[in-house]
Amino acid sequence: MKPDTEIRIAGIVRESIVDGPGFRFTIFTQGCPHGCEGCHNPQTHDFNGGQVTTIGRLIEEISKTGLLRGVTFSGGEPFCQSKPLAELATEIHAKGLDVISYTGYTYEQLINGANDENGWLDLLNNIDYLIDGRFVLAKKSLLIKYRGSTNQRIIDVKKSLSTNTIVEFEL
């Protein structure tokens, strides 16, 4: 790990119970290109907003938080900072925690659009579950766990990558 690697974040929540199973340390990344109508986090859209921190500092904060099952990357759009988040995910796994990432892209868009520059595959290769797709106001539902609208899926990334299909998962 390069502890000085920078990540721009909007904020953190230490013990979230709404961003995946168990107690989770949630990192809200800063910057989002999707502009979904009805977005709950419009303050995370500006790519120059939020604050810059480092992987080392985030790992310290995660280590100080007890009883965690895992860490969730939310946003903002985590895949706009795939490379530093992939490094961070490796360190989180080394602590025995799982990693979930939200994204406004679909899994198919990430697979088909991945390249060396955006690092989308780096991040996909280092997370356990992906909650994908934009928030669609017309499909908003309060009945589905961890998601805002019914178009969004929970994807088992490791199984999906290894089988070259999309394996959905109910967390």
Binding residues for ligand SF4 (CB under 6 A): 32, 34-36, 39, 41, 44, 75-77, 104, 134-135
In the bound state with ligand SF4, the residue whose beta carbon lies nearer, of 2 and 140, is: 140
Closer Cβ to ligand SF4, 32 or 99, answer by number: 32
User: Least distance (Å) from ligand SF4 to the CB of residue 4?
Assistant: 27
The rounded distance, in Å, linking the Cα atoms of 129 and 52 is 25
90 vs 146, which CB is nearer to ligand SF4?
A: 146
Q: In the bound complex, what is the minimum distance in angstroms from residue 159's beta carbon to ligand SF4? A: 24
The distance of closest approach from Cβ of residue 133 to ligand SF4 in the complex, given in angstroms and rounded to an integer, is 9
Cβ nearer to ligand SF4, comparing 50 with 104: 104
- Amino acid residing at 78: P
**In which order are the strands placed within the sheet that holds 153-156?**
51-54, 6-16, 23-29, 68-74, 98-102, 129-132, 153-156
What is the nearest approach in angstroms of ligand SF4 to the Cβ of residue 19? Answer: 12
